[in-house]
């Protein structure tokens, strides 16, 4: 039986190879997975032209996934460095990579990432339009915007962020309700500028069916971008954010009518006490579609440490319903991240995702922690390193400060509680003051 998209297949009762891969990774019944894909509560971004893909699912009942942003800019345009980031991100088992390149002809880099990556690949076609046509933003036509989207589909991109919910009505809401940080979404701000300069409607909203045609053709998942996401805790849960979210819910239903998969993007900066309510609102207004959060960063005053502020918010968000975390690096708000920034961002996001998976009762999450705890009780250093989210750093720390007794560390020495309990329970003398 033929099908156009993963959602179309699911609704026809077809188990695709991608569904089989995801079900095996999640230790989940494939029929239960198919039903959730059919309902739109799980998305499997899998462009027909992404031949190297090892599919991942995003959504209800699945492990929380993380995304890594990278890409060149005019100030930092070394493609080889960005491709090295891709390789390292894949080694660190990131489930998704977004190429956010916004300078020059990016097609070559985009295609290389798709060819080399088993992870799902995302882009924001809006970023590519200026470089693709070498034209000022104001002069880009509606047809040209959609040609860029088509090109990303041809190149094998699995999910595209499109800020289709920032329509004229949302802009009027924004103008009536002043913000501290205005519109911080890069794609959203570019669309806002294009709309204002041309006195026109958002082309992706006005011609949304045309967007769906392209996504259906390649089975690209639409990640409905939140142009109105708060860029400061002061702007969180304000009229623009909620107005846009309502529109995204309506656009979600229209996409599902065409069997196009949808992910909803969510808030950027938000106080801790607002996160749970925002997750509930998103799931309610967007009909249970998978939710992708950009943080949220829970305070605005920690530049240089925003991988931490993001991980705190991400863990809470995922506990209450977010399915997909966009990593944030220590370089956020400051510069293009380098390789070490990226590594720190990935680890922070993976910690947040796993912490939430424990809280959500995801299969295997607690068992991983239990295995680590047992290795600690056994003082089994190699097993601890093998189980660690990042095996490199704990091994480096251990090797940098060697204790006199290898069944301890240099903090506690022979007073190590694990060592003490292990010896006592085995009927041994603990020998605190004398040498063994």
Residues forming the annotated binding site?
Answer: 69, 98, 127, 163, 185-187, 226-229, 265, 269, 292, 333, 409, 412, 416
Quick one: CA torsion of 62, 63, 66, 67, rounded to 10 degrees? -30
| 409 phi/psi in degrees, rounded to 5 | -130, 175
Query: What would the two tokens of residue 337 be?
Result: 């991240």
Q: How far apart are CA 52 and CA 61, in angstroms?
A: 25
Of 162, 155, 158, nearest to 125 by C-alpha is: 162
Would you say the C-alpha torsion 335, 340, 343, 344 has a positive or negative sign? Answer: negative
Distance CA 335, CA 75 (A): 10
How many CB atoms neighbour CB 337 within 10 A?
23
Q: How far apart are CA 285 and CA 375, in angstroms?
A: 44
Distance CA 40, CA 25 (A): 19
Cβ neighbours, 10 Å, residue 336? 18
* Binding site residue list for substrate: 69, 98, 127, 163, 185-187, 226-229, 265, 292
What does the chain come to in residues? Answer: 436
Give Dmax (Cα) for the chain: 83
Q: With b meaning 16 or more CB within 10 Å and e meaning fewer, what string describes 44-59? A: bbbbebbeebebbbbb
Binding residues for [4Fe-4S] cluster: 409, 412, 416
Q: Binding site residues for Zn(2+), as ranges?
A: 269, 333
**What gap in Å lies between CA 86 and CA 99, rounded to an integer?**
9
414, 423 contact by CB (below 8 A) = no
Q: Which residues contact 434 (CB under 8 A, 6 or more apart)?
A: none
- C-alpha atoms less than 13 angstroms from C-alpha of 190 in its C-beta half-sphere: 21
Pairing of strands 120-123, 262-265: unpaired
């Amino acid at each position: 039986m033929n099908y156009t998209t993963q959602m179309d297949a699911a609704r026809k009762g077809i188990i695709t190879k991608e569904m089989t891969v995801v079900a095996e990774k999640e230790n989940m019944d494939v029929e239960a997975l198919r039903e959730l894909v059919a309902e739109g509560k799980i998305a499997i971004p899998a462009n027909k032209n992404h031949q190297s893909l090892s599919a991942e699912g995003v959504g209800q009942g699945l492990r929380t996934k993380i995304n890594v942003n990278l890409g060149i800019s005019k100030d930092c345009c070394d493609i080889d460095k960005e491709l090295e980031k891709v390789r390292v991100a894949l080694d660190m088992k990131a489930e998704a990579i977004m190429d956010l390149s916004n300078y020059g002809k990016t097609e070559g880099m985009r295609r290389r990432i798709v060819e080399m990556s088993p992870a799902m690949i995302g882009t924001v076609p809006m970023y590519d339009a200026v470089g693709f046509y070498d034209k000022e933003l104001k002069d880009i036509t509606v047809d040209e915007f959609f040609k860029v989207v088509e090109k990303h589909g041809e190149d094998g991109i699995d999910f595209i962020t499109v800020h289709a919910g920032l329509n004229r009505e949302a802009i009027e809401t924004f103008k009536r309700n002043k913000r501290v940080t205005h519109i911080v979404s890069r794609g959203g701000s570019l669309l806002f500028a294009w709309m204002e300069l041309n006195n026109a409607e958002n082309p992706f909203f006005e011609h949304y069916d045309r967007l769906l045609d392209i996504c259906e053709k390649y089975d690209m998942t639409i990640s409905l971008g939140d142009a109105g996401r708060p860029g400061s805790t002061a702007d969180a849960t304000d009229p623009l954010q909620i107005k846009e979210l309502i529109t995204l819910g309506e656009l979600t239903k229209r996409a599902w009518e065409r069997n196009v998969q949808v992910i909803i993007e969510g808030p950027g900066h938000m106080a801790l006490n607002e996160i749970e309510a925002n997750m509930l609102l998103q799931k309610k207004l967007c009909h249970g579609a998978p939710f992708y959060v950009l943080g949220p960063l829970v305070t605005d005053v920690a530049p240089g440490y925003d991988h931490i502020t993001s991980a705190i918010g991400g863990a809470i968000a995922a506990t209450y319903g977010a399915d997909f975390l966009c990593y944030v690096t220590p370089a956020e708000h400051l510069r293009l991240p380098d390789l070490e920034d990226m590594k720190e961002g990935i680890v922070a996001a993976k910690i947040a995702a796993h912490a939430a998976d424990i809280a959500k009762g995801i299969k295997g999450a607690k068992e991983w922690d239990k295995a680590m705890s047992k290795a600690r009780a056994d003082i089994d250093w190699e097993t601890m390193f093998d189980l660690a989210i990042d095996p490199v750093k704990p091994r480096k720390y251990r090797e940098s400060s060697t204790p006199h007794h290898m069944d301890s560390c240099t903090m506690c020495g022979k007073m190590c509680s694990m060592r003490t309990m292990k010896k006592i329970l085995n009927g041994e003398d603990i020998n605190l003051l004398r040498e063994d």
